[in-house]
Amino acid sequence: MKTTQISIVAALVVLLLFSAVLASRSIASKSSTERNIKGDGFAVLELFTSEGCSSCPPADELLAKIQKEAGNRPVYVLTYHVDYWDRLGWKDAFSNSDYSKRQYQYASKLGAQVYTPQLVVNGKTEFVGSNESATDYAINSALKGTPEATLSLHGKIQSGKMALNYQLNGNSDNAELVIAVVQKEAITKVKRGENEGRTLAHAQIVRQLYSFNLEKAEKGEVNISVSEDFNPNGWEVIGLLQHPKTRAITAATKVVF
């Protein structure tokens, strides 16, 4: 074989090897929400964040990415804007003391500190909300699990009110039904505080949070209020079945209208 032919063959081999490496890296880089994960589980991602926190935007961006990639998989993203940053230069318009209280409840049960951005998965584990590898692992593990119960919710809107009919199956004794009214996206120009001058994009913002003690009722109806600008295109309602003592979430679903 001539030298020129050998050189061409060698170049082709190198090119094929390089392409194979790139392909393997591409596959490995896919997040857990993009993979075909087998299992009957679900993943509820609760991010505690604030517009006044300079380390929060990367976590907000990660959760927005996960929400976009989730598709029809049972991955539920909720972002709570806490209020304890409001006194430090910038008042977050989405903040609520109820969300700070919820975070403190998790910290107490999980033996964790309170900080932002903090991500809690299925009420059972917590870590820094911008940690993509930890988030992927937690989603993967949760989706492979077997839920203790199932929950279905059907809603009807009328004059600023929403009637929610629920149906429970499985282990639901003494559970709480938690209803989160979620604005899918928003943009804020921050004028003061740690993020001064930045334009922040938000996703899956919890605007209202309700909790109902169901005791042993397997089906029934609860009623909540919704804002005047609520619509199924820009908003959604997510329901959680949560143990009041351990704070573990045993079922989750979106409201069907």
What are the tens digits of pLDDT across the range 159-180?
889 999 999 998 877 889 999 9
Phi, psi torsion values for 56, nearest 5 degrees: -85, -35
| Model pLDDT, residue 37 | 55
Query: The tokens of 227 are what?
Result: 């804002």
* Nearest Cα residue to 209 out of 225, 186, 220, 222: 225
| Alpha-carbon distances, residue 34 vs 28, 77, 201, 251 (angstroms) | 11, 15, 23, 22
Q: What is the model's pTM?
A: 0.86
| pLDDT at 77 > cutoff 50 | yes
- The whole-number average pLDDT for the span 105-118 is 98
Predicted pLDDT of residue 16: 43
Chain-wide mean pLDDT for the chain? 88
Place of tokens 């937690």: 138
pLDDT of 118 above 70: yes
The strand pairing partners of 50, in sequence order, are none
Q: Find which of 3-17, 21-35, 80-94 is predicted with most confidence, using mean pLDDT.
A: 80-94
Residue 185 has pLDDT above 90, yes or no: yes
Q: How confident is the model at residue 106 (pLDDT cuts 50, 70, 90)?
A: very high
pLDDT at 215 over 80: no
Contact 206, 102 (CB under 8 A): no
Sign of CA dihedral 163, 169, 248, 67: negative
Range of weakest confidence among 19-28, 37-46, 122-131: 19-28
- Supply the CATH classification number for the domain 43-254: 2.60.40.1930
DSSP letter, residue 198? -
Better-predicted residue by pLDDT, 231 or 20: 231
Residues 191-207 have a mean pLDDT of 98
Position 38 scores a pLDDT of 61
44 vs 158 pLDDT, higher one: 44
